[in-house]
Amino acid sequence: YPLYRNVDLSVRHYTVRSFVQGGAPFSGWDNFHQVLHDPGFGAALRNTLVFTLVSILFQYGIGLALAVFFNRGFRLAPTLRALFLIPWLLPLIVSASTWSWMLNSESGVVNYALHLAGAGKVDWLTSPSWALTSVIVANIWIGIPFNLVILYSGLQNIPAELYEAASLDGAGRWQQFRRITFPLLRPVSAITVLLGLIYTLKVFDLIWIMTRGGPGDSSTTLATWSYRLGFGSLLPEFGPGAAVGNILILIALAFGLLYIRVQRRQAA
Per-residue pLDDT of the chain (268 residues; tens, 9 = 90+): 988 989 999 999 988 888 778 788 898 899 999 999 999 999 999 999 999 999 999 999 999 999 999 888 778 888 888 888 888 888 889 999 999 999 998 889 999 999 899 888 899 999 999 999 999 999 999 999 999 999 999 999 988 899 889 888 888 888 988 889 999 998 899 889 988 998 999 899 999 999 999 898 999 999 999 999 988 777 789 999 999 999 999 998 988 888 888 778 766 6
For the chain, what is the radius of gyration of the CA atoms? 22
- Sign of CA pseudo-dihedral 149, 151, 152, 156: positive
Burial 187-197 (b: 16+ CB within 10 A, else e): ebbeebbbebb
> Which conformational region is residue 170 in: left (phi greater than 0), alpha (psi within -120 to 50 degrees), or beta?
left
Question: Helix-strand-coil percent breakdown of the chain, rounded to 5?
Answer: 75, 0, 25
Gap between the Cα atoms of 44 and 27, Å rounded: 24
Gap between the Cα atoms of 241 and 12, Å rounded: 12
* Backbone phi, psi, residue 26, to 5°: -70, 130
- The verdict on pTM exceeding 0.85 is yes
Q: Are 242 and 10 in contact (CB under 8 A)?
A: yes
Length of the chain counted residue by residue: 268
Residues 6+ apart with CB under 8 A from 51: 132, 135, 136, 139, 200, 203, 207, 221
Q: How many CA atoms are closer than 13 Å to the CA of 226, on its beta-carbon side?
A: 22
| Residue 219 DSSP symbol | T
Dihedral, 60, 153, 141, 52 alpha carbons, nearest 10? 40
Dihedral, 148, 149, 154, 155 alpha carbons, nearest 10? 60
Amino acid identity of residue 244, one-letter, is V
Q: Are 85 and 67 in contact (CB under 8 A)?
A: no
With residue 63 as reference, give the H or E element that holds it. Answer: helix 39-71
Gap between the Cα atoms of 202 and 19, Å rounded: 24
Cα first-last separation, the chain:
36
